Amino acid sequence: MDVTETDLRLSDGRQLHLYDTGAEGADPRRTVFWHHGTPNIGAPPVPLFPAASRLGIRWVSYDRPGYGGSTPAPDRDVASAAADTLAVADALGIGDFAVMGHSGGGPHALACGALLPDRVRCVVSASGLAPYGAAGLDWFAGMSESGIASLRAAAAGRAAAEAHAAADEYDPEMFAPADHEALATGWSWFDEVVGPAVASGPAGLVDDGLAYVAPWGFDPGQVAAPVLVLHGGADRSVPSSHAQWLADRCPAGELWLEPADGHISVLNSGAAALEWLVEHC
């Protein structure tokens, strides 16, 4: 699959940097918007290209504000992803579409499902967070110490989040053994999207963290479309209890819990998740 990169100027003057594998050979009903994790740029997931090509899927994505070539929007909330995604779809002449998000992209994919009910046919949230302070969920339980520290800093406000991000170092304990294996093999692709995301500083990461611990601007229970919640039972970055909470709240939610997988390695089930999208869209 070839990826075309372009820039889109929005009505508010911001720019979004877009990625598109193109409509040629793809079923127009099988456009999938990819929502990237934290900190990543928005390039669609190359390890899933063979499955996408086989299934006739067209990938469309963009750098979230503050990452890569997209203009920062420091006060953005999770819900704002719906308006940005709609602007991209309209600019490219895309009608209905599916959304798939990984990690921090999970909440943003759910935002599209909740707020664009006439356009979003189905949703996949992989390794995604539940809303901060969600009723009945011990939000930090099972999360790595570094993850807790980062998100508690975000909950304390922008100054604390920026100070933490400036001093933070990579913590290998945030990943399960299965994740390290995946990152050393098929999902080494993450090297291509993490480095560029932080090359000019942690602004995008900080804005993401602040959005995760603030009101999202929608309720996951609003997502009427079919939702697949894919999660690893050994996830140390986002505990699997978040997945159970989301699957229980989404009216048409379905949980795939992979007990031995972590935050990254669960994407080894990504091809099966794309098949689920094709079946349910």
- Residues 252-278 have a mean pLDDT of 98
pLDDT tens digits along 2-59: 999 999 999 999 999 999 999 776 676 799 999 999 999 999 999 999 999 999 999 9
Asked whether residue 217 carries a pLDDT value surpassing 70, the answer given is yes
Q: Are 32 and 98 in contact (CB under 8 A)?
A: yes
pLDDT at position 25? 65
**How confident is the model at residue 242, as a pLDDT?**
98
Q: Is the pLDDT of residue 195 over 70?
A: yes
pLDDT average, residue stretch 271-276? 98
What is the pTM (predicted TM-score) of this model?
A: 0.97
pLDDT band at 233 (very low <50, low <70, confident <90, very high): very high
Element (H, E) at 230: strand 227-232
Mean pLDDT value across the chain: 96
Name the DSSP class of 278.
H
pLDDT score of 23: 74
Question: Residue 135: enclosing H or E segment and its boundaries?
Answer: none
| CA dist., res. 95 & res. 90, Å (int) | 7
Q: Could you read off the pLDDT of 162-177 as tens digits, one per residue?
A: 999 999 888 999 999 9
Q: Over 80: is that where the pLDDT of 101 sits?
A: yes
| pLDDT band at residue 200 under the 50/70/90 scheme | confident
Indicate the burial class of 238 (C-beta count within 10 angstroms; 0-12, 13-18, 19 or more). Answer: buried
* pLDDT category of residue 222 using cuts at 50, 70 and 90: very high
pLDDT over 70 at 154, yes or no: yes
Q: What is the largest CA-CA distance in the chain?
A: 48
Residue 49, classed as helix, strand or coil, is helix
- Express as a percent the part of the chain with pLDDT over 90: 95
Give the per-residue pLDDT at 26.
65
Give tens-digit pLDDT for 103-132: 999 999 999 999 999 999 999 999 999 999
Please check the confidence at residue 96 and state whether its pLDDT lies above 70: yes
- CA separation (Å) from 132 to 64, 69, 215, 236? 20, 28, 8, 17
Between 25 and 101, the higher pLDDT residue: 101
% residues pLDDT > 70 (the chain): 99
